[in-house]
Structure 1
């Protein structure tokens, strides 16, 4: 038992957000290398028009390597519940249970940037709820597609406690360790959930699709922000262990550009 959070201590697992930012053969090689380095899950962001559609990319990745795949994360502002749930269920079936559905409200204004009608926060949460409900209907009693929900305020946190299997917190970059710890500890409910940590930066590098490219990594370190990890694998492993012990995070998601850098830490901690 974790004395700080009152949660059961879960084994570590590690995911990698790997968008297609190169030629296809290079991306395929990257997928295979990630799978061979101890990472449990390959994730793809929901960024229409910037890369191939999320569903085909994940199906391709699952065929290339024996690892889990997932959305990080479906943006409810861009997606209708029934079709999103059908895609998620289909990926679960085609990967023989190796798919996990990450879903969140979506970045503010993303739908307007793409020429779509504005979607209110309340409607985004409604879509998230309806997507999970439709997914459970598609899955039926023989299949349970895990749902990781990205949350920020109390309303989305309450929804995650009701319908999700795991949660990742959308943390302001300027939150320090104490503020992040408070946010997570205030996430109270009647059941234990896996807590995921979205790591946007490693050392001085910022992961594409996980944070703005102009993110000030020096300021993050000065503020003791938890959206950054050290680039030294030994120091990163110590910090990851500290975050589980003090806060309860056990699932860490990083950018593909840092997968090789942190591979020794992953090899040491995965499954422990």
Structure 2
């Protein structure tokens, strides 16, 4: 398998003003990040208009959803929005989609949508991918997955697979999930880009701000895959090893820590 070059994304979704959001996008591009990613929750900005605004004030930065909750929108609506964003961004849009994070049922209800059963949500993800693939200029597709059935769909249909493991998961959990994906994908595994998100970057676990625990719903733990601690060199070594062992080449970082992670990104790109 050819070793993929690293890609790095900033995950952000809130701002006090349009100017602040534009500054976030510009700063992400200035620091050298590849993508600006936005969640799909009622506690963050609406993804498509926010990404359109980010694309308008940048030139190289790709913009993407991380990830759309499939129950919230009809497949045709997603395709329409994706087509428009691809056009106005000059082809810099990347669609991320999943079956809905824990707690997403209340968002769907507030939007007047039926959240559905796990099987129905899986089917909606597949239908949305089908609708987007039919576009004249379809974006790349990221599927967030952690359980066997969604991993199976991602193995068959995605360009990128975001490994949606809990922040406290260990590398043993990560290895098991990657192996499930590898088995499902077969020969196609070599063509998949694997993504893993980082919740916090700090010198030590004790330096992780308390609000991180409230935001992700769990306290940081030693060995948790979503917490990167130590010097930039140490963190770079961890991520290089994860690429070697688990084929993870796309790393997403919370926007709250994009400045702290920038030296790591520089090291990995040398």
Report TM bin, short chain: 0.7 to 0.9
Counterpart of 2:49 in structure 1 is: 56
CA distance in 2, matches of 1:214, 1:127: 27
2:168/2:226 contact within 8 Å kept:
no
Unmatched runs of 5 consecutive residues or more in structure 1: 1-6
1:130 aligns with 2:130: no
| TM-score, normalised via structure 1 length | 0.87
Question: Structure 2 CA distance, aligned partners of 1:213 and 1:160?
Answer: 24
Q: Which residue is 1:187 aligned to? A: 181
SS at match of 1:181: helix
Q: Mark the CA change 1:52 to 1:182 in structure 2 (over 3 Å): closer, same or farther.
A: closer
Within 1, Cα distance between the matches of 2:217 and 2:131? 38
2:154 aligned with 1:157: no
Deviation of the 1:211 alpha carbon: 7.9
CA-to-aligned-CA distance 1:120-142 (integer Å, 9 cap, x gap): 11111111111111111123xxx
Mapped partners of 2:94, 2:82: distance in 1: 8
> In the alignment, which of 65, 72, 75 is matched to residue 71 of structure 1?
65
CA distance in 1, matches of 2:145, 2:247: 16
Q: Tell me, yes or no, if the aligned pair for 2:9 and 2:251 is still in contact at 8 Å.
A: yes
In the comparison of the two structures, how many residue pairs are matched?
Answer: 256
CA distance in 2 between partners of 1:56 and 1:176 (Å): 36
- CA shift, 1:110, in A, is 1.8
The DSSP-based 3-state class of the residue aligned with 2:116 is: coil
**Cα RMSD (Å):** 2.1
| Aligned pairs for 1:161-180 within 5 A | 161-180=155-174
Contact 2:168 2:218 in 1 (8 A): no
Take 2:234 and 2:169, find their aligned partners in 1: how far apart are those partners?
21
1:198–1:227 CA contact under 8 A, matched in 2? yes
Q: Counterpart in 1 of 2:100?
A: 106
Query: TM (normalized to structure 2)?
Result: 0.87
After TM superposition, the structure 1 stretch with the greater mean CA deviation from structure 2, 97-106 or 18-27, is 18-27
Cα 1:236–1:9 change in 2 (3 A) is: same
Greater helix proportion: 2
Q: Show the counterpart of 1:3.
A: none
